């Protein structure tokens, strides 16, 4: 069974560089405290690493 990650946006992207804003949007997050469940892939992990200071990540 593949791992799933629950990703929650916990800090605002206001004031963040445009690349970080686009990364958060690419993860499917638009509003504060919104959560998405994504597969645990290297691409997802890389995106999370770039904006980890804005996110809360849980393994399901």
Instruction: Give residue-wise pLDDT tens across range 6-42.
Output: 999 999 999 999 999 999 999 999 999 999 999 999 9
Of residues 51 and 3, more confidence is placed in: 51
19-48: buried (b, 16+ CB within 10 Å) or exposed (e) per residue? eeeebbeebebeeeeeeeebeeeeebeebb
**Full-model pTM:** 0.90
- Provide mean pLDDT across the span 39-48: 95
- Give the residue extent of every domain in the chain: 4-59
* Start-end of H helices in the chain: 18-26, 42-50
Q: Which fold has domain 4-59?
A: Ribosomal Protein L30; Chain: A, (3.30.1390)
Residue with the two structure tokens 């200071």: 53
Which H helix or E strand runs over 3?
none
């Amino acid at each position: 069974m593949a791992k799933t990650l629950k990703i929650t946006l916990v800090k605002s992207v206001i004031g963040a560089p445009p690349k970080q804003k686009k990364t958060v949007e690419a993860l499917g997050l638009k509003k504060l405290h919104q959560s998405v469940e994504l597969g645990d892939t290297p691409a997802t992990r890389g995106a999370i690493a770039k904006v980890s200071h804005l996110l809360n990540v849980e393994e399901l």
